[in-house]
Structure 1
Amino acid sequence: MVKSMCSTGTKKQQQPKSAANKSPKFIVVITNLLQAALKVEGNGAWLALGISKDDIMGNDTVLECRFPKKGKGSVGLSHNLRVTNEPLPEATQMLLKDSYTEERDGRALCGAEWMLDNTMLEAKEKKLMHRITSGKYNLLFAFGELDKALKKKSHEIVGDGAPWRSIEQTRFCNHCTAQIVDE
């Protein structure tokens, strides 16, 4: 999903305790390239990567992927307002390049190259996007089902469907310095 992310090694997602001994419904691997895989059932599924200054959802920049059971999937940016995500169509069009969704071997995959410089956005959407190249951020991963109208159903708050969060914070940069890579 984020090709411009600098990190060393593999970041792990903290999973809900109830999921510790079960086969996961999805897999998230974050290295210099983030990939997520999810099994699509029912009307379809969605997954979202929230980039947050804290470790709870709300006031987050979000990269989300939708996988309808029929038709073409989508990748977009949104702003998490705690209980809803406000789509950011201008940011999606200007900042995401080469986005894709696909199903392969029974798994749904998505990704995009994210241009991290949001200075060219209009003020309305710019204020809803974190300047993720400054500082460290927590990664929050949520997922759920699509309803019959292909709108996102809310994710669970507790249990197997609850959001996961990164154990370590992550930095994002266009051109990572050796100091950042060596952290």
Structure 2
Amino acid sequence: MAWAFRALFFLFIFLLAVPSFAFTKALFPLELDVCGKSRACWSTPPGCDSAANCQAIVRWRYEKNKLRVEMQAKGIGSLGAAAPVGAQWMALGFSDDAHMGNDTVFSCLFGTEGGNRAEISYNQWTDNIPLVEASKQMISEKKFSTGKETNGCAISINYAYKLTSKDEQKMILRLNGKDWWHILFAQGPAARNTGQKDFHTTVHKSEQLVRIFNSKSAEFGRRMYAFQRDEKNGGRSWGSSRSNGKQQQIICINGKTVLRKCVCKLDYFGEYCERKMFCKGFERENNSSCVECNENYFGALCDRPKCRNGGEEHAEEQRCQCPQPYSGDFCETLKVEDVYRFYNTKAALVGPLGILTVIPMLFCFYMCEKKARIRQVNRIQKSWSEQRKASIESAHIASLLAEKA
């Protein structure tokens, strides 16, 4: 009887286990049938529609401060590598400038001696900095899939976790539902013993911008995926504006146009990317603003120049309006030639006014002198007549005074 009970027990366990294995769809290979339903998706090359013809597929959802990322790609050996590839990596980033110059990166490594692993890192220009605490504490629910041609991984990133490392805090880009992002996906070889990522062999980036929404993002996922596919089929992009049947041109001074909006280069902002941030160093806050401004700039975005010596900031342009004789980008320069030019200009302006002032004064002086001489001649003539009882011509008196002078 004991064997019968054991058989019934194992049969019961088997019946419980069969549904989970037989009726639950495996996560890998990733497909695109869930896009717009429970996931937002992106795939490359444009127009691919399955794991068979897509080089890479990325799916994600954001719910309760947790970002679930699923990515899959054909191994870099399938891209024509010169030698067999051992350890390799794939990485995903959401970037606001399409360059991944200062952004958080989610990576999966395959074939390393310690086994497959996931990590969070930070791209500082061409350097990739692993974030040790963030990788250990923020990543959970890891799944990996390795095959002859395709590798895949799925991870959850918990944004509710408070990092203790201040340096890593600054390097975690806070994704939200308001901003628009480019998707960047890269692959490359890695050192088998250390997991050190070598320079990428391939990079893909989305031509359209995406948003990272909360749990109610299914509708957006459907729109994003439909837009991506429709755009490649020649459809009109949503969000565009037309006037008199013609599309209005948008000129981005330091960026490019995406979905009828300007996407600015690193450290530029504004509706047309017309303003530049002058940050000190390469570190940025979570909202991409400067940690500290350069010496000669201030403001929340470090875009306003410090004008010295009475200079004023231009109302529209990022420059100082300097009072003479000061010059330079910040009105800090005082040149000898500028000083001479300034006072010569002042003299040139005062000259005509001086002439107009001096001529009336000279005329008044002349008239006063003339009247004084006439009065002097009259006094002498009167005195002479009273003393000598004789008259004398005023002309003779005037000539005698002139000779005496």
TM score, norm. by length of structure 1 = 0.73
Percent of matched pairs sharing the same residue = 24
Shift of 1:10: 3.8
Counterpart of 1:165? 205
Counterpart of 1:141? 185
Question: Structure 1 residue aligned with 2:156, among 113, 118, 122?
Answer: 113
Q: How does 1:1-183 map to 2 (within 5 A)?
A: 8=36, 10-13=41-44, 26-30=55-59, 32=61, 34-39=70-75, 41-68=84-111, 71-104=114-147, 106-117=149-160, 120-122=162-164, 123-134=166-177, 135-149=179-193, 150-156=195-201, 161=202, 163-176=203-216
C-alpha separation in 2, matches of 1:167 and 1:155: 20
Q: Residues 81-100 of structure 1, C-alpha deviation per residue, up to 9 Å, x if partnerless?
A: 12121111211222211112
Q: Gaps (5+ residues) in structure 2?
A: 1-34, 47-51, 62-68, 78-83, 224-405
**Which residue identity does 2:198 align to in structure 1?**
K
C-alpha separation in 2, matches of 1:110 and 1:36: 6
Give the direction of change, closer, same or farther, for the CA distance of 1:11–1:72 in structure 2 (3 Å limit): same
Q: Residues 138-162 of structure 1, C-alpha deviation per residue, up to 9 Å, x if partnerless?
A: 1111111123544211014xxxx2x
**Which residue identity does 1:27 align to in structure 2?**
A
CA contact (8 A) 2:144 2:154 kept: yes
CA contact (8 A) 1:47 1:143 kept: yes
Shift of 1:47: 0.6
C-alpha separation in 2, matches of 1:76 and 1:28: 19
Give the direction of change, closer, same or farther, for the CA distance of 1:103–1:127 in structure 2 (3 Å limit): same
Counterpart of 1:3? none
**Which residue identity does 1:165 align to in structure 2?**
K
C-alpha separation in 2, matches of 1:50 and 1:31: 12
Aligned partner of residue 42 in structure 2, secondary structure: coil
CA contact (8 A) 1:14 1:167 kept: no
Give the direction of change, closer, same or farther, for the CA distance of 1:131–1:64 in structure 2 (3 Å limit): same
Q: Which has the higher helix share?
A: 2
**Which residue identity does 1:121 align to in structure 2?**
L
Q: Residues 71-128 of structure 1, C-alpha deviation per residue, up to 9 Å, x if partnerless?
A: 511111111112121111211222211112231464221110122335x112221100
C-alpha separation in 2, matches of 1:167 and 1:36: 19
Which structure has the higher relative contact order (CA within 8 Å, separation 6+)?
1
C-alpha separation in 2, matches of 1:73 and 1:83: 24
C-alpha separation in 2, matches of 1:127 and 1:90: 13
C-alpha separation in 1, matches of 2:102 and 2:188: 20
C-alpha separation in 2, matches of 1:112 and 1:178: 19
Q: Gaps (5+ residues) in structure 1?
A: 1-6, 16-22
Aligned partner of residue 118 in structure 2, secondary structure: strand
Shift of 1:70: 5.3
Counterpart of 1:18? none
CA contact (8 A) 1:14 1:166 kept: no
Q: Residues 15-60 of structure 1, C-alpha deviation per residue, up to 9 Å, x if partnerless?
A: 7xxxxxxx97942243646321332652211111012111112101
Give the direction of change, closer, same or farther, for the CA distance of 1:103–1:148 in structure 2 (3 Å limit): closer
Give the direction of change, closer, same or farther, for the CA distance of 1:148–1:131 in structure 2 (3 Å limit): closer
Aligned partner of residue 198 in structure 2, secondary structure: coil
Matched residue pairs, number?
164
Counterpart of 1:20? none
Q: Which has the higher strand share?
A: 1
Give the direction of change, closer, same or farther, for the CA distance of 1:105–1:154 in structure 2 (3 Å limit): closer
CA contact (8 A) 2:73 2:150 kept: yes
Aligned partner of residue 91 in structure 1, secondary structure: helix
C-alpha separation in 2, matches of 1:107 and 1:131: 30
